Structure 1
């Protein structure tokens, strides 16, 4: 029995010594002096499982090595895609920033015109108030005439009509002045909002154009 087992072990050792897979040669060396049939089966099974495990690991490594060029190309493609998207984003931010700056310039011009209009309205109201004060004085003098002469004559009616017209004109001017002052405050609030948005766009542009692209220049990716 021992002789048969030794013969089988010797035969297995001889066959396994010639077994090769993926350029690996596995030598199984048995201690033929102290081996039983069950031990032989057990150890053979272990060696076979280890061999298949090594083969699978080797195949996985070979597959990974073969995929390295594909992975490298994929990384390069992603790098170039990000570069294109980043350039497009920078272009869009610059366009928005320029539009915001144009809006601020337009608002500044409107503010200047509105301030001139307000000054003109104030000056016009002031001039008309001078005239209306003069008319009030003349009406007051006419009302101080003797009883027989204190009548609603043509001159008095004319002054009264002129006074009413001036007062109506002043009321309209004051209404326009209030509207222009309200519009001026609205322009200032709008300018503040646009300036805040402009500051955000400038900060985003600084991050993308200076920080991100500057950091990307420190890496070298070539196809």
Structure 2
């Protein structure tokens, strides 16, 4: 038995398949009909799939073309919107730049006015006040000219304060205008870049080269700004520009009004000072003329009283001779002897003559004292008048020659 098994192991086994199934004729016909029906169904399904495929392809193509046309249309509208906004911003920017130039010109006008006030008017007024400190004696008084000069000094300093504040406001306004142009420039730069991008997108087609499909995970559209926010940002830039332009124009109008008002005030005060100078000069000249007339009258009176003193001296000298004559006659008659030494009419006459001569001499000497005292007073008055005339001459020189010549350099005009 073991031998038989070993021989079987050495030989290859052949598996005999079972006999095929046997079908009936009806099963054969049934199978054929089934295959025919399946074939027809598959053909109809294939036709339906082909038709549906063609319809889907046409629909997808139509929708794709429609979407592309819609995207192209919206892209074109977006480009128009960007170009319109860009044009509006550029127009507004030109106005802002123009307003910066105008305001810069106004700042130069303010600076010119300030320099003129500081280097010319203020310096001249201070020099006039300093020169008038050189007046002498009673002329060194607080007159109308000094009051008007001090008032002019206050007006100039007040004008400087107003102009300086206006200059600071103009500087701040220019800074705001330049800030507006900065944001406009950024917006214009961004819109220029977007126009390049979108115009490039409009030139692309589905057959263009260098097209690529994104396979990343982050969104293809990373934008977070809404259309309303985009429009609001552009509108805000334009509105800010218009607002700053309006503020700058109002400031320029204010500067125009301020310069006119300041110049009018300065001119008015300058005229007031000049009129005060002219009145004071006329007063000084009138006083000087009156003093000169008085000086001439005093000099004439000094001469007259000098001659009167001479006549008094001559008269006193003559009366002393008469006195000596009367005294001599009385002395001679006192030497009469005896009964001849009587009180006769001659004696009474000589005695009366001596008394009258003494009285007359006393009166003449009193008049001499009065004349000499008057002489002294007249000479003192003459010296005082000469001193006053010199003082008035000095004051007239200071006011008419020095100060009025200086004030010719004051030039107030609309800067």
Q: TM-score normalised by the shorter chain: which range applies?
A: 0.7 to 0.9
State the 1:137 CA deviation.
1.1
SS in 2 for 1:144: coil
Q: Which residue of 2 aligns with 1:42?
A: none
State the 1:129 CA deviation.
0.2
Q: Which residue of 2 aligns with 1:181?
A: 372
Residue 349 of structure 2 is aligned to residue 158 of structure 1 = yes
Residue 310 of structure 2 is aligned to residue 119 of structure 1 = yes
State the 1:87 CA deviation.
1.7
TM-score under structure 2 length normalisation? 0.42
Matches within 5 A, 1:186-201: 186-201=377-392
State the 1:173 CA deviation.
0.8
Distance in 2 (CA, whole Å) between partners of 1:107 and 1:16 is 90
Between structure 1 and structure 2, the one with the greater Rg is 2
2:236 to 1, 7, 16: 16
Contact 2:263 2:413 in 1 (8 A): no
Distance in 1 (CA, whole Å) between partners of 2:341 and 2:252 is 121
Q: Which residue of 2 aligns with 1:77?
A: 268
Q: Give the gaps of 5 or more residues in structure 2.
A: 1-221
Q: How many residues align?
A: 192
2:339 to 129, 139, 148: 148
State the 1:197 CA deviation.
2.3
Give the RMSD, CA atoms, in angstroms.
2.8
2:408 to 196, 207, 217: 217
1:18-38 C-alpha deviation (Å, 9 max, x unpaired) = 32355748xxxxxxxxxxxxx
Q: Which residue of 2 aligns with 1:50?
A: none
Q: Which residue of 2 aligns with 1:131?
A: 322
Distance in 2 (CA, whole Å) between partners of 1:221 and 1:15 is 45
Distance in 1 (CA, whole Å) between partners of 2:280 and 2:225 is 77
SS in 1 for 2:339: coil
SS in 1 for 2:338: coil
